[in-house]
């Protein structure tokens, strides 16, 4: 695993006006910074900065000779403040919005001497963060790749954030129950039928779908902290690139880089319909936008499952670099 590094921002001003000391943790994979084009990878709700290598959550995508080739690129991944990966928690997480995370990452990148990103990519809330960084710094990213996400929290997302918050504060088994509920948003009825088809675990005298859901609840509870879950869930509900700003069209037409929207046709969380509408609106104000679809029965989690499709869809972004190296 790439070593975890720290970067301190002594006086970081939140959008709310509050000023705090902030220390970010991050990992760099592949080429050292300043030796190659830089790709920023943003993790999802319960993810972290360990994106490549034996335990990396996106190791099928990032690594030597992979889509994002660590022999060609410098890959940097920060931990969201408060995600708990390095026992880092936010005592006042409700003071934060996703734009604050964007600004913290940008300050750190500036101070690390990164003047441009070849790409910013992420799935779910990590993709929403790529949207935020793109419109906040419209000349900074050459290729913006938001996957399985949206640039604002829909009513459906806000409703789920509310239920997650109630589970996290009121359940007797908050992490387990919140994760079980979330899994129903991350997968689809077809995905569960395909995998389990009402089969029974005879040892436990339960349906296999039940034991699988309970397993995921227990697994998250063993590796994730409730404070981190509360923070990340709150940030999910704060997604809105237009908050206290101009219209969507006014913001995105200033973004000079290419935008590659990657949507999942069965996503129950950030819907395919919302992403298609975003693409239609983008075409009215910006020429270099592209729409890619992952076809899968597995819903939102397909960006963590359908690696071959994702590689095929994004080869055009990353392969041209190879041809000139």
CATH value at residue 179 = 1.10.1740.110
Residues 132 and 80 in one domain: yes
Q: State the Cα–Cα distance between residues 121 and 260, nearest whole angstrom.
A: 9
The 10 Å CB-count burial string (b at 16+, else e) for 179-213 is: bbbbbebbbbeebbeeebeeeeeeeeeeebbebbb
Range of the domain at 96: 5-153+239-323
Give this prediction's pTM. 0.96
Residues 243 and 128 in one domain: yes
Q: Tens-of-pLDDT digits for all 325 residues of the chain?
A: 689 999 999 999 999 999 999 999 999 999 999 999 999 999 999 999 999 999 999 999 999 999 999 999 999 999 999 999 988 899 899 999 999 999 999 999 999 999 999 999 999 999 999 999 999 999 999 999 999 999 999 999 999 999 999 999 999 999 999 999 999 999 999 999 999 999 999 999 999 999 999 999 999 999 999 999 999 999 999 999 999 999 999 999 999 999 999 999 999 999 999 999 999 999 999 999 999 999 999 999 999 999 999 999 999 999 865 444 4
Number of domains in the chain: 2
Residues 148 and 11 in one domain: yes
The residue from 216, 235, 254 where one domain ends is 235
- Residue 207 host element (H or E): strand 206-207
Residues 194 and 286 in one domain: no
For residue 51, the SS3 value is coil
């Amino acid at each position: 695993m790439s070593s975890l590094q720290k970067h301190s921002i002594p006086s970081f001003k939140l959008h709310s006006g509050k000023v705090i000391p902030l220390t970010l943790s991050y990992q760099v994979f592949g080429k050292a910074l300043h030796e190659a084009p830089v790709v920023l990878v943003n993790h999802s709700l319960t993810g972290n900065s360990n994106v490549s290598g034996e335990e990396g959550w996106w190791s099928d995508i990032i690594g030597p000779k992979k889509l994002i080739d660590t022999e060609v690129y410098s890959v940097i991944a920060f931990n969201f403040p408060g995600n708990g990966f390095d026992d880092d928690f936010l005592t006042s997480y409700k003071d934060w919005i996703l734009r604050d995370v964007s600004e913290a990452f940008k300050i750190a990148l500036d101070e690390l001497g990164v003047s441009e990103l070849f790409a910013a990519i992420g799935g779910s809330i990590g993709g929403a963060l790529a949207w935020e960084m793109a419109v906040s710094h419209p000349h900074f990213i050459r290729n913006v790749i938001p996957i399985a996400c949206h640039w604002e929290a829909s009513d459906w997302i806000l409703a789920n954030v509310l239920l997650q918050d109630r589970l996290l504060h009121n359940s007797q088994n908050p992490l387990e129950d919140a994760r079980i509920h979330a899994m129903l948003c991350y997968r689809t009825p077809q995905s569960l039928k395909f995998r389990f088809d009402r089969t029974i675990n005879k040892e436990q005298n339960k349906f296999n779908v039940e034991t699988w859901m309970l397993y995921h609840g227990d697994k998250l509870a063993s590796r994730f902290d409730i404070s981190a879950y509360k923070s990340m869930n709150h940030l999910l509900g704060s997604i809105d690139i237009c908050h206290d700003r101009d219209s969507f069209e006014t913001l995105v037409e200033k973004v000079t880089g290419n935008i590659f929207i990657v949507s999942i046709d069965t996503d129950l969380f950030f819907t395919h319909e919302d992403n298609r509408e975003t693409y239609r609106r983008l075409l009215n104000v910006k020429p270099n936008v592209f729409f890619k679809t992952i076809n899968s029965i597995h819903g939102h989690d397909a960006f963590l499952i359908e690696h071959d499709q994702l590689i095929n869809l994004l080869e055009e972004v990353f392969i041209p670099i190879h041809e000139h190296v």
